[in-house]
């Protein structure tokens, strides 16, 4: 089974090496076309993210295929030879299949169960389709990988619970207040601020205001979730009437100071502040104010995330069972593909016998009109398909269940082509004999 994988990831290479070898999204199609020029590479897909570069290929032979993938990396990606020895891993056959399924299921991610990788695998498949470098083997492999990822997240808890800081902030807030009756402010419209705002919206927060230096960006996020957008300068006024503030900017300066909180006219109104900015957005002195002001920091949230990750890790055995099942299904299908030439030979032989028999039949029955001849031809095709069904099914099943390599030899042992031809000739003769009104010998 010549499916191979050559790659590096956060498990084998430090960030600077991964950064050096990442293929930008806009250049993946170009890279795939360059890779398709290598003689041993029949199909290829590149999965390139900030944490991994993995090349999946269907090749003529393992040895030549791996050699050409490495040559591609040294020329197209200018990979250093020492990087091969230190950071690259090679997987062959079923091991490569299993790795892709593990990636799609989120088991090979830095954050176990993270959902973004499924979209990244889907994007890799889309680009390979557009570049025309994917065929039946990798096409099915990547489609079933996406199916594996979906099963892992719907049939197990690997994708449940809170693992992003934005989501963790909302979960922490929900333990302190009823979000459906809480007026919330999200400071920052970047990745973490967006996550926090969307989780607040999903939790049914009474109202949400997005505050950001760039008002346009705040407005774009607010539009998505039906929130209000205001400039950063409005933050002091918002502190007067809000009950929850989640800050996720990390600009390097304190956006919310102890003085701002001390000056609040509505000091009796309880205020929960959650700081997920790196560096911090809320002045540390604010935590000592008391009087209804509660401040949580990144370290507090990490405890929430750690508990969630522990729950996810407990789901890994269930996901592994799904992956094992999916790998077996794919390998069974792949092995059955090896009998395609044998099946084609059977069909060719059957067609040769059928057409010869029909010619002889028409020669003996010249009085048949066009409609009658079409009916005879249609009947003969039906007979052939019925006669072929059992041996073809047997071939596919036998090879699909075989664990070892020479499938074509196994197929030859399962079915003797000459004996099959003789049997087919006799059966077809028996079916066509009534049309002649006589019984044929032999």
Place of tokens 């230190």: 86
DSSP letters spanning 171-216: HHHHTTS-GGG-EEEEE--SHHHHHHHHHHHHTT-SEEEEEESSHH
Among 43, 49, 9, which Cα is nearest to 28's? 49
C-alpha pair distances (Å), 238 with each of 176, 187, 222, 226, 228: 20, 11, 16, 18, 12
Among 243, 248, 204, 246, which Cα is nearest to 226's? 204
Give the C-alpha separation, 55 to 31, whole Å.
11
Give Cβ neighbours of residue 240 (< 8 Å, ≥ 6 apart).
264, 265, 266, 269
Give the C-alpha separation, 168 to 173, whole Å.
8
Place of tokens 């030439």: 341
Question: At CB < 8 A and 24+ separation, what contacts does 91-96 make?
Answer: 91/4, 91/5, 92/3, 92/4, 92/5, 92/62, 93/1, 93/2, 93/3, 93/4, 94/1, 94/327, 94/331, 95/5, 96/3, 96/4, 96/5, 96/56
Among 45, 48, 58, 161, which Cα is nearest to 114's? 161
Q: Which residues are catalytic?
A: 50
Give the C-alpha separation, 222 to 49, whole Å.
29
C-beta separation of 103 from 51 below 8 A:
no
Give the C-alpha separation, 216 to 210, whole Å.
11
Count of all residues that appear for the chain in the document: 442
Give the C-alpha separation, 330 to 124, whole Å.
19
Q: Count other C-beta atoms under 10 Å from residue 172's C-beta.
A: 18
Give the C-alpha separation, 397 to 410, whole Å.
12
Give the C-alpha separation, 294 to 243, whole Å.
10
Pinpoint the alpha helices (H) of 365-438: 370-401, 407-414, 417-436
Q: Could you report how far apart the first and last alpha carbons of the chain are, in Å?
A: 44
């Amino acid at each position: 089974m010549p499916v191979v994988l050559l790659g590096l990831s956060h498990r084998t290479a430090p960030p600077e090496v991964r950064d050096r070898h990442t293929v930008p999204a806009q250049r993946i199609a170009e890279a795939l076309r360059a890779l398709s020029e290598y003689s041993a590479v029949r199909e290829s897909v590149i999965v390139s993210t900030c944490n991994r570069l993995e090349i999946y290929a269907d090749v003529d032979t393992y040895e030549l295929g791996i050699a050409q993938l490495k040559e591609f990396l040294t020329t197209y990606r200018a990979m250093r030879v020492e990087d091969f020895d230190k950071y690259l891993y090679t997987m062959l056959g079923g091991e490569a299949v299993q790795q892709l399924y593990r990636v799609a299921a989120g088991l090979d991610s830095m954050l176990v169960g993270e959902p973004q990788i499924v979209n990244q695998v889907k994007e890799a498949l889309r680009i390979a389709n557009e570049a025309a470098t994917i065929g039946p083997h990798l096409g099915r492999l990547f489609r079933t990988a996406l199916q594996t990822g979906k099963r892992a997240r719907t049939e197990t808890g690997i994708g449940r619970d809170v693992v992003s800081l934005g989501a963790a902030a909302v979960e922490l807030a929900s333990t302190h207040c009823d979000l459906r009756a809480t007026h919330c402010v999200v400071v920052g419209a970047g990745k973490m601020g967006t996550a926090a705002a969307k989780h607040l919206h999903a939790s049914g927060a009474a109202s949400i205001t997005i505050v950001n230096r760039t008002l346009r960006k705040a407005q774009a996020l607010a539009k998505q979730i039906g929130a209000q957008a205001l400039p950063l300068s409005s933050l002091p006024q918002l502190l007067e009437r809000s009950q929850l503030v989640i800050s996720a900017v990390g600009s390097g300066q304190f956006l919310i100071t102890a003085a701002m909180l001390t000056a609040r006219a509505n000091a009796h109104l309880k205020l929960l502040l959650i700081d997920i900015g790196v560096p911090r957005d809320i002045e540390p002195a604010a935590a000592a104010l008391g009087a209804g002001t509660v401040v949580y920091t990144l370290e507090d949230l990490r405890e929430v995330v750690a508990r969630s990750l522990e729950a996810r890790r407990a789901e890994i055995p269930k996901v592994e069972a799904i992956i094992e099942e999916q790998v077996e299904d794919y390998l069974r299908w792949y092995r059955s593909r090896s009998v395609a030439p044998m099946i084609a030979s059977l069909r060719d032989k059957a067609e040769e016998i059928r057409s010869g028999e029909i010619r002889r039949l028409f020669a003996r029955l010249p009085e048949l009109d066009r409609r009658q001849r079409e009916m005879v031809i249609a009947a003969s095709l039906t007979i052939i398909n019925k006669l072929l069904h059992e041996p073809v099914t047997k071939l596919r099943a036998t090879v699909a269940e075989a664990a070892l390599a020479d499938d074509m030899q196994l197929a030859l042992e399962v079915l003797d082509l000459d004996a099959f031809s003789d049997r087919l000739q006799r059966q077809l003769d028996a079916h066509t004999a009534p049309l002649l009104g006589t019984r044929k010998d032999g």
